[in-house]
Chain A
Amino acid sequence: MTSDALLRCRGLSAAVEEKAILHEVNLEVAQGQVHVLMGPNGAGKSTLGHVLMGDPAYEVTAGEIFFDGADITELAPDKRSRAGLFLSFQAPVEIPGVPLRSFLRAMMEGRGEKLKNKEFRRKTQELAETLDMDPAYLDRELGVGFSGGEKKKVEMLQLLLLQPKLAILDETDSGLDVDALSVVSHGMELYREACDGTLLIITHNTRILEHLNVDRVHVMVAGRVVAEGPATLIDEIDAQGFERYEAAPADAAESALR
């Protein structure tokens, strides 16, 4: 582990409405790597993704988050985004009355990107096609009436437009059919190719990882990171599930982190 990791959280604890969910999470992601955060349902994986992005629904009760050399623990989500952090939502929201393309435009312009209208239209159109998404969606209201698969494609489209330094993909594979899954995998590859992107993939399904070279796996159970290891850990979990971590999470955490 290097101390100059792109993302590092140290002793991170978080609560929602005074109910503790994350307990002293330690996690490091180095620039250019692909990390996977696995764990059973309800382990706190999504919470960690939201806390890293600065969701005000959660309160950080202890610990720190460093990103790209700066302490971002207290930073608002928009500032984290501008610093190069991205979260692909498990359940992207719907914003009635706002066409997808207008939203994308506002997102880019907010970063000082000056894109000519025509050029922007072409770029978004191309990206939509790359992601096997009907470009007609660009003129529809953001998320309204989109299927689960279309919503995830919109998340990937933003990932490719923004090219953040680090993308947290929260259960991006849930609720996708095989075709849509391959589109998402393709999106992740493109992101990696385009900007040597760094990924933290939150999942409990290993199929989406088949096309990626995973550098590191973190296992979360009951709000704690209980194990860490190389990509081979994925196969072990595939074969054995999370039971052995769930049996004695505290002990496992200690041994894993030692």
Chain B
Amino acid sequence: MANDVIITASGKRRTQVDDIDRSLYDFRYEDADAERLEAGLTPDIVREISERKDEPEWMLEHRLRSLEVFNSIAMSDWGPSIEGLDMDNIVTYVKPNTDQKSDWESVPDNIKDTFDRLGIPQAERSYLAGVGAQYDSELVYHSMQESASKMGIVYSGIEEALHGEYAELIREKFMTLIPPTDHKFAALHGAVWSGGSFVYVPRGVKLDFPLQSYFRLNAKGAGQFEHTLIIVEDDADLHFIEGCSAPKYNVANLHAGAVELFIGKRAHLRYSTIENWSKNMYNLNTKRARCDEEGEIEWISGSFGSHVGYLYPMSILAGRKARASFTGITFAGRGQNLDTGCKVVLAAPDTAASVETKGISKDGGIQTFRSSVVATPAASGSKCTVSCQSLMLDDRSRSDTIPAMDIRCKNVDIGHEATIGRIGDDKVFYLMSRGMSEEEARAMIVNGFAEPISKELPLEYAVEMNNLIKLEMEGAIG
């Protein structure tokens, strides 16, 4: 059961499937008509956002500069279609959530159903759906924050951090890895960003449990233009987990967050994400990490939700012997077009990067792996391996691989391998001959295929991801 609805600029509805909760969208139409007089994003709107947040002056200036960029650059002309986004009336996405009617009743049934079957406690559901104020997890969050802060780690909302001890540091780093000029949605983010996390790990501090934005968001409500800024100083170590695998529901269907990660010398950061937005979402998130000498970034990335996704976390290996690894999985089902992958920039001598991804498409879904590896003239002695495997579960689905390599240095070692396959009937028959239903058999094969990713996740996330695959596989037969 899907609820993929495309709303075009002209306001025409194109319902892709029969089953949809109309009431959910109706109110938005009234809203949209009211706002149409004031089409487009104006400096006044941006000023209002900044004022409400009581921000420093430099941030307002940053927002206004970003707005100029947003209004002056064109939309990118590659990748999945985003014509369903109402760009003429972008204000509808920018307005703060509080102005929108959101309640549990308006959450689509398929999402409620998924909560049930994933066994998410009732108390967590309204948060995950992004509709309620739900503070039960604050205790957990606070105790986590307390033990981290004893070590000198700062973990707070980025908006409050702008008024705190590290305000200057934030000013120095903010949107330097992802400048607003990078692309249209980076500019939009720069102009209207709101919420998100700030993490600072001092030199030499190693945290032995993961920080989870789950709890952070739980206290503050999920955002759609959130900014995450993480600084891991020299010799420090952090594992950060963004989100959670249960579906997140947002009334507006555009997500353009930004994640900027700064990794010091010999420092290590593991950044894990399981993204499962509801399937009306346009997920246009931008994530970048910069590693200094011998610093290491490890990305673990799962993409399950969204209607359209563009997601290519970038690793910039700026110091000698810096390292990056990217382990990702993308599952595109009915009505989904997920264009995911990663970018690697080898910008210093003796750096090393490895990329391993898995893509699954079913039920007409489109899954594209897109990668870019750049070796600059300074990258002598560096190496990078890219391996991507795709599995198509039926004849209607599609998997593509688009690797790009830009090698400007002689002494580098760059490798790429890709395979695209299907589930063998012989394997399904074998498992069925052992008493498993066809659905169970296919789910087991797909889970096995995804195992290199799930084994990298903390146990509870791995379990949830496996459950998610099981849910996605239901009704995949036919």
A residues engaging B (CB < 8 A)? Answer: 50, 53-57, 76-78, 80-82, 86-87, 89, 92-93, 95-98, 103, 106-107, 110-111, 141-142, 158, 162
Contact = CB atoms under 8 A, between A and B. Distances in A.
Contacts of A93: 424, 426-427, 430
A95 B424 CA distance: 10
A106 B430 CA distance: 13
B444 A95 contact: yes
Contacts of B450: 97
A154 to B, nearest CB: 11
Given A95-B445, A98-B444, A87 B451 contact: no
A56 B429 CA distance: 8
B448 A78 contact: no
Interface stretch (B126-134, B152-160, B432-440): B432-440
B432 A77 contact: yes
A97 B432 contact: no
B93 interface: no
6 contacts: A78-B435, A81-B435, A82-B435, A96-B451, A98-B445, A107-B436
Contacts of A54: 432-433
Contacts of B426: 57, 93
Contacts of B25: none
B449 interface: yes
Contact of B430 (A80, A92, A97, A111): A92
Contact of A55 (B429, B440, B447): B429
A87 B430 CA distance: 9
* 7 shortest interchain CB distances as A-B pairs: A97-B448, A97-B451, A98-B448, A77-B432, A81-B435, A78-B432, A93-B430
A103 B432 CA distance: 12
Given A103-B444, A106-B444, A141-B448, A95 B436 contact: no
Given A57-B425, A141-B448, A78 B430 contact: no
Interface centre among A86, A95, A110 (most CB of B within 10 A): A95
B403 interface: no
B432 A76 contact: yes
A83 to B, nearest CB: 10
B226 to A, nearest CB: 33
Contacts of B449: 96-97
A77 B433 contact: yes
A92 B433 CA distance: 11
Contacts of A92: 430
Contacts of A110: 434-436, 440
B381 interface: no
Interface centre among B432, B433, B444 (most CB of A within 10 A): B433
A82 B435 CA distance: 6
Contact of B434 (A50, A56, A81, A97): A81
A97 B427 CA distance: 13
Contacts of A96: 448-449, 451
Interface in B423-478: 424-427, 429-438, 440-441, 444-445, 447-452
